């Protein structure tokens, strides 16, 4: 089993880990460490066996890839403490959860609930599986706050997840962007918190499950709840504010707060937060003392760690580059 010591050192949990199992025993060890205890059955003969995996830990998410060099079947008991999404980046694999079964490929992945037996089988031809493991307590906590309901059993996903169109394609882009930004170190904690929440909520919109009626039937928050959400954004825009944080402060569900923000302000809560942060950066840059520091320091103070995207968003809102704001301020 190969795992670079540098990738395991404290404080580097956003760096990708690269692991390899060169025997079925090593592969089971790697798979159990990254995912769950499982049974691994080799179906092919005559080929050299190898399993390769990557994993990036981002808060309650573990995002990675998995591939084998020979045909295999992997069987797992109930995950218990996690939900799982598996998608084929190339090729395909057969998979089941309880009594439901599909063929997963580049167009359709699988979402697994935590309380049933699961299995997947493939690698008769090359295939790279894209995997997302989601901590069950955090997933269900965010879901409860978002929908304003209490869960008494696991979320019953119907298994298929369309990933080449609509909400599923948007979800896939969000997950891959989160993994890329995390691995490159281009995302600060404020952006990471927001994107993790976006991935969890996005999955609720991207597939069919037992809570769909709560998504479609939510009512808007009251005017006073909306006002509390807006006030919190203006009070501490530099803090790690997620939809969940705003909704709890306002005393409503995240979905209800979303509806009210869009109806009354024309923006989602996170879009409104971004606009306030951009305005605060502009106000800071207009102060000559702020411009004594690099623009990047001011931007990062308000959660903008991807500087190229920040510069584009800033210009779109204020009609000039951040550096131009500084120059105008210094000439006053």
The predicted-structure confidence for 306-319, as pLDDT tens digits, reads as follows 888 899 999 999 99
Mean pLDDT of the region 229-240: 95
Q: What is the pLDDT of residue 292?
A: 67
pLDDT of residue 7: 37
C-alpha count within 13 angstroms, C-beta hemisphere, residue 303:
24
- % the chain with pLDDT above 90: 76
pLDDT confidence of residue 332: 58
Class of domain 5-206: mainly beta
Higher confidence at residue 31 or residue 326? 31
Band of residue 330 on the pLDDT scale cut at 50, 70, 90: low
Query: Given this model, what pLDDT does residue 14 score?
Result: 57
Neighbours of 10 (CB within 10 A): 5
Whole-number pLDDT of residue 3: 52
Q: In whole numbers, what is the pLDDT of the chain averaged over residues?
A: 91
pLDDT for 114-150, tens place per residue?
999 999 999 999 999 999 999 999 999 999 999 999 9
Give residue 296's pLDDT. Answer: 87
pLDDT above 80 (res 199): yes
Average pLDDT over residues 228-257: 95
Q: 16-52 pLDDT, tens per residue?
A: 789 999 999 999 999 999 999 999 999 877 789 999 9
> Using the 8-state DSSP alphabet, how is residue 22 labeled?
S
Residue 11 has pLDDT above 60, yes or no: no
What's the CA angle centered on 46, arms 44 and 51, to 5 degrees? Answer: 60
Q: What is the pLDDT of residues 292-301, one digit of tens each?
A: 678 888 998 8
Tell whether the model's pLDDT for residue 105 goes beyond 70. yes
- Does residue 4 surpass a pLDDT of 60? no
pLDDT value of residue 289:
66
The predicted structure's pLDDT at residue 136: 98
Mean local confidence (pLDDT), 275-291: 86
Q: Supply the pLDDT for residue 27.
A: 97
Average pLDDT for residues 232-250, to the nearest whole number?
95
Question: What is the pTM (predicted TM-score) of this model?
Answer: 0.84
pLDDT in tens, 63-84: 999 999 999 999 999 999 999 9
Q: Any idea which of 4-18, 25-39, 268-282 has the lowest mean pLDDT? A: 4-18
Distances (CA, A) of 257 to 145, 230, 253: 11, 10, 6
What pLDDT is stored for residue 331 in this prediction? 60
Q: Which residue blocks in 207-293 are alpha helix, DSSP H?
A: 212-216, 223-235, 243-250, 254-265, 269-285
Query: Looking at residue 13, what is its pLDDT?
Result: 47
Cα–Cα distance measured from residue 104 to residue 131, given in angstroms and rounded to the nearest whole number = 12
CA distance 237 to 240: 8
Query: 137: Cβ–Cβ under 8 A, 6 or more apart, which residues?
Result: 81
Sequence spans of domains, the chain: 5-206
Q: Is it the case that residue 60 has pLDDT exceeding 60?
A: yes
């Amino acid at each position: 089993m190969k795992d670079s010591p540098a990738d395991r050192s404290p404080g580097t949990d956003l760096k990708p880990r690269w692991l390899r199992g060169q025997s079925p025993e090593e592969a089971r060890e790697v798979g159990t460490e990254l995912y769950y205890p499982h049974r691994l059955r080799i179906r092919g003969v005559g080929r050299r066996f190898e399993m390769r995996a990557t994993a990036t830990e981002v808060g309650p998410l573990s995002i990675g890839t998995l591939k084998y060099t020979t045909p295999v079947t992997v069987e797992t008991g109930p995950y218990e403490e996690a939900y799982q999404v598996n998608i084929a980046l190339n090729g395909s694999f057969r998979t089941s959860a309880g009594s439901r079964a599909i063929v997963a490929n580049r167009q359709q992945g699988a979402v697994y609930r935590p309380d049933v037996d699961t299995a997947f089988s493939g690698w008769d031809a090359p295939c790279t599986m894209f995997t997302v493991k989601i901590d069950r307590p955090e997933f269900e906590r965010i879901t409860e706050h978002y929908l304003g309901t209490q869960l008494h059993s696991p979320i019953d996903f119907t298994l298929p997840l369309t990933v080449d169109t609509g909400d599923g394609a948007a979800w896939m882009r969000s997950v891959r962007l989160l993994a890329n930004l995390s691995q490159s170190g281009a995302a600060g904690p404020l952006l990471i918190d927001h994107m993790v929440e976006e991935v969890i909520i996005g999955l609720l919109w991207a597939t069919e499950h037992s809570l769909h009626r709560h998504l479609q039937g939510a009512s808007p928050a009251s005017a006073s709840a909306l006002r509390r959400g807006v006030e919190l954004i203006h009070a501490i825009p530099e803090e790690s504010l997620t939809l969940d944080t705003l909704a709890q402060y306002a005393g409503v569900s995240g979905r209800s707060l979303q509806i009210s923000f869009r109806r009354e302000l024309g923006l989602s809560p996170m879009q409104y937060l971004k606009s306030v942060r951009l305005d605060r950066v502009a106000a800071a840059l207009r102060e000559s003392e702020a411009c004594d520091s690099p623009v990047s320091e001011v931007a990062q103070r308000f959660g903008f760690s991807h500087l190229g995207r920040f510069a584009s968003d800033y210009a779109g809102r204020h009609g000039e580059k951040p550096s131009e704001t500084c120059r105008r301020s210094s000439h006053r």
